[in-house]
Structure 1
Amino acid sequence: MFRFIYSVVFYLITPLIILRLVIRGLAAPNYRKRWGQRFGFFTPSESSKETIWLHAVSVGETLAAVPLVKALQEKYPERRLLITCMTPTGSERITAAFGDSVDHSYAPYDTPDAVARFLKRVQPKMLIIMETELWPNTVAACYKRQIPVILANGRLSEKSARGYARVSKLSGPMVAQLSAVAAQHGDDGGRFIALGLPVEKLHITGNIKFDLELNAQIRLSAEALRQQWDGTNQRPVLLAASTHRGEDEIILQAFSLIKQSVNNALLVLVPRHPERFNQVGDLCLDAGYSLARRSNNDSTDNADILLGDTMGELMTFFGACDIAFVGGSLVSNGGHNMIEPAAWGKPTLSGLSVFNFAEVSRLLAEAGGLSLVEDAAALAESVIVLMKNPEQAQQMGLSAQQVAEANRGALERLLAVIDNSLSQ
């Protein structure tokens, strides 16, 4: 009954969802493309191969899924992988990371007809969902067709758990129908149990984002980029990564304070969403800074700020900077992936809103590899101290890197959960 009501509501708001796509498409034209896929109209490239369907909602989940996808391709070469997402930026990352070695589509909207149409065309042998992107009709449809559904790298913050609990008549049956939850931490697992997941379906596997690989190619790219940023001077570089609306102004305010003490500092500012690139560039110019753009390959010799207005280079940026600030955390967005700068051995800063990475932030902060700041003044103070004390910055980065190395191994445990479900 509750899923029926949910489905009716979803159908009723579908015109509003389409209108939102149109509006977003004004700034990001890719939102206007491939609408048929969102309603289940997708045909796999190789119907003769059994398909494993992996869903990664957007960029962050897609990047986390990269080592998993490569491991699945190696482990199950006889099967075809289909990777779905919900956003154009996620789609671009999937194409860049895997090319035509996987099938790719937008995920169907969670209406009974769209999901049924999609499953009939794809006929997956398993659905792997990254982190928390759970949809009642999708899970129920797979359960009815005896398609195992695994929540991989599962996380559930206290805030999200409270939201699910408010609709427990809908979320409870959905969680109970999952085949397995591979949770990042025991706290996440406990919240899934409280929502109705049977205990025997819970596996604490750790966070697969710790299993990222920094290969020789990306290390060389980071080194070359750092030389480009230095130019004729040895400039200290602050990277502000994955910033959100309302956060860039705080970063720029902090940077003005930093420049008073470290005049030659370079700020590399990377907005989270590409449709905001030009807007953030205007903010920098309005604040009186000289601006270079990565998309133009501009020289940073005479620039205060480099706008990171390209896609797919953030990992390289982390390798090339001196200090990394991870965005989505000075606004109430829950933060982004701090493991990436930690893996590079960079001293890492974040705002106080870190509920999306609660356990990671705790581990890094306790080890001395992460500092949490509450506002522009605190951010500026932390950056100035680190820029003026390179030995302290190096030790902080080493502490972060040790945490990243110590927590590897989640991918292997997750693969065991997947293998067990496929073999049943």
Structure 2
Amino acid sequence: MLLLYTIGIKFYSAIIWIFSFFNEKAALFISGRKQIFNHIAKKIDPLNENIWFHFASLGEFEQGRPVLENLKKLHPQKKIVITFFSPSGYEIRKNYALADGIFYLPMDSRKNAQRFVELVNPQTAIFTKYEFWYYYFKELNKKSIPLFVVSGIFRKDQIFFKGYGLFFKGILKCVTHFFVQNNESCILLHSIGLENVTVSGDTRFDRVFENAANAKAKSEIALFCGDSPTLICGSTWPDDEKLLVALPAKYPGWKFIIAPHEIHESHILSIESIFQKTTRFSEFKNTGKSDSAVLIIDNIGMLSALYQYGKAAYIGGGFGAGIHNTLEAAAFGLPVIFGPKFNKFQEAKDLIKIGAAKSVSNGTELINAFEYFKSNAQSSSAAKKYVEDNKGATASVLNKLIFNSLVK
């Protein structure tokens, strides 16, 4: 199985290399890893008290950020080393001020893992939510370096819990302690003999609560919205946008802000082609004028602050791999609408259960959901209360790490 795993990693790398010739993200994935060990060696002193945080992408960074920042506050002498697997995380957070070094994670191999651990020499490694890399985990284990998984979540259909998943169960056995989001994850890990588990909850609740409490004003957005109720459409994909196109004409008293997941020019143009009239944020910022009810956000990094100006939110991704972050909107008291692919997201199921979210599959269902939320104030308070009631995971994690001397 190890041979198949190694071949799979090499095959994945080859596919990304081929795509890099015509795909911007793939190109960044490849170029960001060139001479990576030279960059690490120049930036990181292995004699420092280094703590290694790894994040798959931007969402996992925001999820683990409360732990990182509070740990740094408690131990300011520690040096923070961050790695990302995806360009979506690295390119946006490569200048994050609290980190002493931010890098792409070299692809998982015996040689890369040994070299990386040698150069960084972390006292502790902390992974957020998922990504279980065989060679990195084995190398950390061999060096007796504590490894923690924060906000982990597991499902019974994952390979770890199958009869043929022995190899992957072995990867999990390298983890010093799991901090998981729910009881189901705890039970599943116990079922394969892993007792080193704490149900701490999801640190994203702490992050989105803090973000809502300290949201920075966006004067251009306030000007665009004026006194009109506004639907914030976050992290949308083409299938989401095709669904949303019916709303502006049907609700002329509303404003609509679309923050697409991808902001390359071809995607922006495709949005402009299906909506009757739109204004790009970059243009509105320069002129302060718009004769359209639809504003397209053509930059990265604004979405989490946009929700403070909304009355409801539509979260994209539900017609593809899965919905994006619903909690950012809920923290501001916005009820949320999303597509049909949400079953992997506990918070989405919870929000539906308390009447603060609805899943839609077609235009009729979208109109019905929109009609319900635009006049139902209780859904707003339910969304906000849900976030407030579930914060505290960061404190749970830190209590275990600090007061049990797992991080010294």
Q: TM-score, normalised by structure 2?
A: 0.90
State the partner residue of 2:384.
401
Structure 2 CA distance, aligned partners of 1:8 and 1:138? 16
Q: 2:212·2:331 contact (CA, 8 Å) conserved in 1?
A: no
Partner of residue 413, structure 1: 396
Report the equivalent of 1:174: 171
Establish whether residue 202 from structure 1 lines up as the match of residue 197 from structure 2: yes
The change in CA–CA distance for 1:327 and 1:74 in structure 2 (over 3 A counts) is: same
Three-state SS of the structure 2 residue aligned to 1:309 is: coil
Alignment of 1:193-342 (within 5 A): 193-194=190-191, 196-199=192-195, 201-212=196-207, 213-214=209-210, 218-222=214-218, 224-231=219-226, 234-252=227-245, 256=246, 258-274=247-263, 277-298=264-285, 299=288, 301-329=290-318, 331-342=319-330
In 2, are the aligned partners of 1:176 and 1:198 still within 8 Å (CA)? yes
After the TM superposition, which residues 67-82 of structure 1 pair with which residues of structure 2 at under 5 Å, given as runs? 67-82=66-81
> In the alignment, is the contact (CA less than 8 A) between 1:40 and 1:118 conserved in 2?
no
Summarize the Cα distance change of 1:172–1:40 in structure 2 as closer, same or farther, 3 Å threshold.
farther
Give aligned-pair identity as a percent.
20
Secondary structure of the residue aligned to 2:198 is strand
How much has 1:69 moved relative to structure 2? 1.5
Q: Deviations over 1:217-239 (max 9, x none)?
A: 953515x34421224xx322111
Note closer, same or farther for the CA distance 1:23–1:143 as it changes in structure 2 (3 Å cut). Answer: farther
In structure 2, distance between residues paired with 1:287 and 1:162 = 41
Question: Equivalents in 2 of 1:306, 1:289: separation in Å?
Answer: 12
Asked if residue 366 in structure 1 is aligned to residue 353 in structure 2, the reply is yes
2:353 counterpart letter in structure 1 = E
TM-score (structure 1 length as normaliser): 0.86
Aligned residues of 2:343 and 2:349 also touching (Cα < 8 A): no
Residues 54, 414 of structure 1: alpha-carbon distance in 2 compared, 3 angstrom cutoff: same
Moved more, 280-289 or 395-404: 280-289
Q: Take 1:203 and 1:37, find their aligned partners in 2: how far apart are those partners?
A: 38
The one-letter code sitting in structure 2 at the alignment partner of 1:346 is L
Alignment partners' CA distance in 1, 2:181 and 2:212 = 28
- Distance (Å, rounded) in 1 between the aligned partners of 2:11 and 2:378: 55
Deviation string, structure 1 residues 148-177 (Cα, Å, up to 9, x no partner): 111110012445x15773751321101122
User: How far apart, in 1, do the equivalents of 2:211 and 2:98 lie?
Assistant: 22
Partner residue, 1:380: 367
Q: 1:336 to 1:240 in 2, by over 3 A?
A: same
Amino acid at match of 2:243: I
Matches within 5 A, 1:25-104: 25=24, 30-31=28-29, 33-36=31-34, 42-43=40-41, 44-96=43-95, 98-99=96-97, 101-104=99-102
Task: Give the drift of 1:91.
Answer: 1.3
- Superposition CA RMSD, Å: 2.6
Whole-Å separation in 1 of the counterparts to 2:380 and 2:249: 24
1:29 deviates by 5.9
> How many residue pairs end up in the alignment?
403
Once the two structures are TM-superposed, the CA of residue 403 in structure 1 deviates from its matched residue by 0.8
Q: Closer, same or farther in 2 for the Cα pair 1:37/1:375, shift >3 Å?
A: farther
Correspondence 1:94-173 to 2 at 5 A? 94-96=93-95, 98-99=96-97, 101-159=99-157, 161-162=158-159, 165=162, 168-173=165-170
| Alpha-carbon distance, 1:22 to partner | 3.7
Give the AA of the match of 2:128.
M
Structure 2: runs of 5 or more not aligned: none
Structure 1 residue 104, shift from structure 2 partner: 0.5
Greater Cα shift, 365-374 or 48-57: 365-374
Rounded to whole Å, the distance in 1 between the matches of 2:162 and 2:38 is: 29
**Match of residue 422 from structure 1:** 406
State whether residues 232 and 313 of structure 2, in contact with CA within 8 Å, keep that contact through their aligned partners in structure 1. yes
Indicate conservation of the 8 Å contact 1:37/1:105, yes or no.
Answer: no
Hey, which of these two has a bigger chunk of helix by percent?
A: 1
